Each structure stands twice: as C-alpha cells, then as structure tokens.
Amino acid sequence: MTDWTHETDRAKEWFESLRTRICNEFEAIEREAGSNASFEYRPWQRDEDGNDNPGGGVQGLMKGKVFEKVGVNVSTVRGSFSKEFAGTINGASPENPGFTATGISLVAHMANPHVPAVHMNTRFLTTQAAWFGGGADLNPPIPYEEDTADFHAAFRAACALHNPTYYDRFKKWADDYFYIPHRGVHRGVGGIFYDHMECADPDAFERNFQFTRDVGEAFLGIFPKIVRRRVETQWTNADKQRQLEWRGRYAEFNLVYDRGTLFGLRTGGNVDAILMSLPPEATWS
C-alpha cells in the first residue's frame, strides 16, 4: 500500500491557503458594504477510540451584512471507518477500513435574495486507493442568466486546461447529483461535480491535484464577481419569501441526500462544521 502522507500534507496546505484567500476576499466584500464582519475560526479535534492521531480541523464562520451566513471549513482526519460504512467507500472494506481525508468545504447563504448562494468543496482521500473529488454549484433563489453563464464559463475553462471531456462529464454529474427527487427539482443552476479521480501513481496525483487547484481558483475568480454584481439590487418582501422557501429545499437536499453530510457524521466529524451548510433561516409552506 502506498504511503500518501506527503501528498496528504501538500493537499492540506493548499486547502488552507485557498481558505485564507477566500475568507480575505469575502471580508473585503463586507468592508465594501460598510460592514466590519469577520470570520471567527473555531478549531476542533476528532475523537476515535484507540486512535492517537485522529485529526481535526478549523471551522470558519462569518455572519455579516452581505453574507448572512458563510462557513469555510478545512479538516484533515484519519482513522478507520465502521465495518458497515467501510463497504460503501471507494477502496475501503470491512477488512481494510483505514482512511485519511483532507479537504475544504464552503457554503454561503446571502442576505440579499438576488445574490446567489453557493457551495464549493474539494478533497483528497486515501483508503486502499487514493483520489480527489469536489466541485461547486450555484444556488440562486432568483436566477440570472448572466450569472449562470459566467459561473459555468469559469469551470468550463478550468476543465479545458486538463481534458476536453471534463466539463460536459462533470456538469452532467452535478446536474444528476444536485437533484431533489422527492421535489422533482434541481437545487440550483448547477456547476461541476467530480469524484474518484484516482491517483494510481505520483504522476496521476500531480495531474489531479493541479486540476483540483484549478477548480478552487475558478471559484475564487468568479463567485466574488457575481456577489459584487448583485449585492446592491433592491429586493421586496416577496423576493425574501422566495429565498426562504428555496432555502427549505436546500436544507432538504443536504439532510437527506448529500454524501458529504453523511461522510462527516459517520466519521466522527464536528457536527457544527458539518451542518454549517444549513441556512440561518428557512420556511416551508
């Protein structure tokens, strides 16, 4: 079995650096809006019986004038899956349940209904296999074609740097994944989603790590532009009600279908960090 410790450390350092730059940019947007809101960082440690080095992470949370609630979390954890859960994870089994995982996860819920909410995460996992996964999707209560087109164009360009088939494949994966079957609707206007981008050797790691970095850069390049474009749009009570109802759908997806939520809860992650994806306020009719 390959020792991926060095690669895990490199990925962790990248995710932490991306977190810092994203948080700085979001705080800058708050300053432009006349707010002094800043991220509060809350370190946490994971517990696992018989594991002297289970890892942990840092939850970053900000509640401001523009960002009603935004969480940007980085975690690095290691240990063993439960036997029943190990059989559901790529490269793991009840006989070989060991794993490491490092990643960044972001969800932003915005105060203005015309500014889209967003989700982004990228991660590197090892079991008997090693792979990258992640993506981003835009979740506007009130969609604008310009925002949707620009968001997709940013990720199309990132994909094109690596493989001409990536964007179409990963866009479809996002469309299929970010879907609420019991409502018969998508939870937003999509983006990209990829998983099990396997690292069979060091060269594959470098290729897939670079792609994952480009995904992170694409997010940082486009989402703040969309926020600044819409942040001063006037909104009505009807707009706000539409946002709150849409947030209810978002919460349903994350609690019922989202694999990342399940992974975090089943591996002893920090509950507050895992559920930071839930909106600060929502309604159901």
pLDDT tens, residue by residue, 118-134: 999 999 999 999 999 99
Looking at residue 1, what is its pLDDT?
Answer: 55
Reference 208, options 115, 124, 138, 264; nearest CA is 124
For 75-93, write each residue's pLDDT tens digit: 999 989 888 888 888 888 8
Looking at residue 72, what is its pLDDT?
Answer: 97
Looking at residue 83, what is its pLDDT?
Answer: 84
> Pick the catalytic residue: 119, 162, 182, 196?
119
Percentage of residues of the chain with pLDDT beyond 70: 100
Catalytic site includes residue 119: yes
For 200-258, write each residue's pLDDT tens digit: 999 999 999 999 999 999 999 999 999 999 999 999 999 999 999 999 999 999 999 99
For 92-103, write each residue's pLDDT tens digit: 888 888 899 999
Report all structural domains of the chain as residue ranges with CATH numbers, in order of start. Answer: 5-30+58-277 (3.40.1500.10)
pLDDT at residue 62 greater than cutoff 90: yes
Q: Which residue has the tokens 């979001």?
A: 26
pLDDT at residue 35 greater than cutoff 70: yes
Rounded to the nearest 5 degrees, what angle is found at the Cα of 10, between the Cα atoms of 6 and 11?
A: 120
For residue 104, the Cα-to-chain-centroid distance in whole angstroms is 7
